[in-house]
Amino acid sequence: MSVRTTITRRRIFGAAILVAALAAAGLPGQASAEEVEVRIDNFTFAPQQLTVQVGTTVTWTNEDDIPHNIVSSARGAFKSKVMDTEGKYSFTFTNPGSFEYFCALHPHMKGTIVVEGTPGPKAP
């Protein structure tokens, strides 16, 4: 094998490693998960309506001095335990759709998460 062939192969290998590293870094056009916060304060969810992409994790934080919880209006989609002050609950939305939720302790408290995009590939 000539020196020129060895150098060419090393360059190709190096370029392949660089491409893989850039793809893993999440360049524009690559899907990446986000994290979004919803505050619970004064018997309200803020924001009350939120639009996110598939794969986003939403974290609710109870900043009220009263216990609250999060319950999906669609039976079984997601449900938190009762959270005291500074308690947190997170849920990752893996499918598109509109997800209404409420506080079971205070049913007048309502919110909606709108999830856009296409679901990722299913695990084997």
pTM of the model: 0.71
Q: Cα torsion at 16, 20, 25, 28 (round to 10°)?
A: 80
Per-residue DSSP letters for 45-100?
EESSEEEEETTPEEEEEE-SSS-B--EESSTTS-BPPPB-TT-EEEEE--S-EEEE
Q: What is the pLDDT of residues 12-64, one digit of tens each?
A: 544 444 434 434 444 333 345 699 999 999 999 999 999 999 999 999 999 99
**Domain spans of the chain, in order of start:** 1-30, 35-116
Q: What angle do CA 75, 76, 77 make, to 5 degrees?
A: 100
Which CATH number is associated with domain 35-116? 2.60.40.420
Whole-angstrom distance, CA of residue 116 vs CA of residue 31 = 13
